[in-house]
Amino acid sequence: MIQQKGGFIDELGTIFSLSNWSGHLSYLLIAISYWLTDIFWLRVVAVIGLSLEILYFWHSGGDLRTGIGWDLIFIAINLYQLYRLAKDRLSLRLPEADRDLLRSAFTGLDDSQIARLLVAGEFVDLADGTTLAEENRALDEIFFVCSGRVAVTIAGRDVSHVERGSFIGEVAFLTDTPATATVIAEGDVRALSFERAKLKHFFDNEEEVAGIIYQLLGRELAGKIKVSNRLLSAGA
């Protein structure tokens, strides 16, 4: 019994000895990479973990060429994908004037994802009195207000005013129905305009971005409904 206990302790000592530190650290880093949601850092941590695993195999003795070979293949794949991600992040930059607004409005997206989203739309300057949406009429665009203010009316009655950082036309976009309100620019307005068809095509290829944008649109819609109900009740 004492000998068995001593053997077990010796095995534990071997497993957790300093000579195996690279193995423990490599598997810890690989496990951590599975928890990361940012794909760039997931791949960085994975490459480091796989490199340490190769070091562990190298010092373990025995014929571990198969494991080392597959680790090298995994590292090569991750390094290539990191190159593509870094290239995207360097080439797709947010406009400096709108950077802070876009980051705060599109919470959950990194700069490269927001930059790709911008490619699916275009910045437009709208003069005072421009109609962005007309009640009960089909709306082929959705707008994100970057600066300025717009008035929202339903059945000729003012229900709210929308300012920078808000979407226009999200109800029609989400439900594929005509606009539920008339929206008119009050003064000069700068907005990011998305064609419905083009944006949906973009979402087909960017499922992660699409999921976050739909969540943001849903939350904003709920907030606008509360404001509109409050204003209508006050004016009743």
The per-residue pLDDT for range 22-78, each reduced to its tens digit, is: 777 888 888 888 888 778 888 899 899 889 888 888 877 767 788 888 889 999 999
pLDDT confidence of residue 15: 45
Most confident of 16-20, 122-126, 158-162: 122-126
In the predicted structure, residue 229 carries a pLDDT above the cut 70: no
User: Where does the pLDDT of residue 94 fall: very low under 50, low under 70, confident under 90, or very high at 90 and above?
Assistant: confident
pLDDT, average across residues 196-213: 90
pLDDT, average across residues 153-164: 86
pTM to 2 decimal places = 0.60
Q: Would you call 165 exposed, middle or buried from its count of C-beta atoms within 10 A (0-12, 13-18, 19+)? A: middle
The domain limits of the chain are: 2-91, 96-235
In the predicted structure, residue 4 carries a pLDDT above the cut 80: no
In the predicted structure, residue 12 carries a pLDDT above the cut 50: no
- The mean pLDDT of the chain is 82
The reply to whether CATH 3.90.1150.180 applies to domain 96-235 is no
